[in-house]
Amino acid sequence: MTDYKVLFTGSVCSGKTTAIRSLSDIETVDTDARVSDSAIRRKRKTTIAMDYGVLDLSDSARLHLYGTPGQERFKFMWEVMMSDLVHDAEGLVLLVDNTRNDPFKDIRFYVEEFRDFIVRRRLIIAVTHSDEKADPDHDYYMQELKAMGLFTTVIFIDARDPSSVLKIVKELVGQREKDIAWPELEQRLAVNSTMPQASGEGDSPAIGVNEEVTLLEAAMNTRGITGAIHLGADRKVLSSNVSSKQNKELLRSMINLVTALEAKASFLGHIDDLVLYGPQQETLSVFVEEEQALGLCSHKDLSINVVKQQAVDLLQWSRR
């Protein structure tokens, strides 16, 4: 029996867990836990360690499917998996959520984090959620990846559809395994997909499930965030739970300052965020987009990178 391995990674809600469940012949092993950050607006559970499944390709070949957690705070598991469990993997499948504000930012981040791992392995970029947002399209991905110096395969998939995810497998092992009966395999997966799986929600987005969770409630779901203020395109306050009047006014002033700085220093381009940090007080951070802005108060010992990641997700999934 020839055993192959593949590692799936990507941002929260990109479809890692769902893709593995679509392919696996066994009930997948997952390590889901209740979401404890801004992702609660999209789903109630998330992978915190790893996902695992197995796909029998033929009587003589088998594929082991591994999935990483999406959040950077669990990156210690990325290291464990790369150095031990999947050190001999055929390739890395980077799932990219096409509804993200900047999917290429995700690509740059994960390629850099897994750079040493993909040096001698195939990298496949699998774009998900294109049924919700068609752009960027395949041609644009290829153009941008070329500009980034990445010459790799891009496949648009529906992580819920076994036949769609199977395109990744064909790309990885199709040339090496000539005896795989792909039509029969696809038919078997289609039958398996109708069978009940484990109840965890994993990485699959639950849009609609958590609509009752407001942006501010999601912000407060993250340990270390003590207050949030949400402003619209006209920079009027839509909602706020910042208890300190002084902090609330400071956050609004910082947002206005970003606009002023952009006008005075246009050569800098768009300013995404501004952070006011002091060792004795809470950290004040603002994140500015054309249609909305978000201000966050956080404990001084909470990493600025964590605050930024939470803010990006909150704005990304905002439903005003």
Residue 242 has pLDDT above 90, yes or no: yes
**Token representation of residue 234:** 């006209």
Q: Which helix (H) or strand (E) holds 262?
A: helix 245-264
Question: In percent, how much of the chain has pLDDT > 90?
Answer: 51
Mean pLDDT of the chain: 83
Q: What pLDDT was estimated at residue 30?
A: 62
Kindly list the structural domains of the chain, giving each domain's residue range(s) and its CATH number in brackets, ordered by start. 2-192 (3.40.50.300), 215-316 (3.30.450.30)
- List CB contacts of 70: < 8 A, sequence separation 6 or more: 9, 10, 11, 12, 13, 14, 16, 46, 47, 203
Most confident of 69-73, 116-120, 194-198: 116-120
pLDDT of the residue at 57: 95
Tell me the two tokens of residue 195.
């069978």
% of the chain at pLDDT higher than 70:
84
Q: Are 96 and 103 in contact (CB under 8 A)?
A: yes
- Tens-digit pLDDT profile for residues 155-182: 999 999 999 999 999 999 988 888 899 9
Of all residues in the chain, what percent are helix, strand and coil, respectively (each to 5)?
A: 35, 25, 40
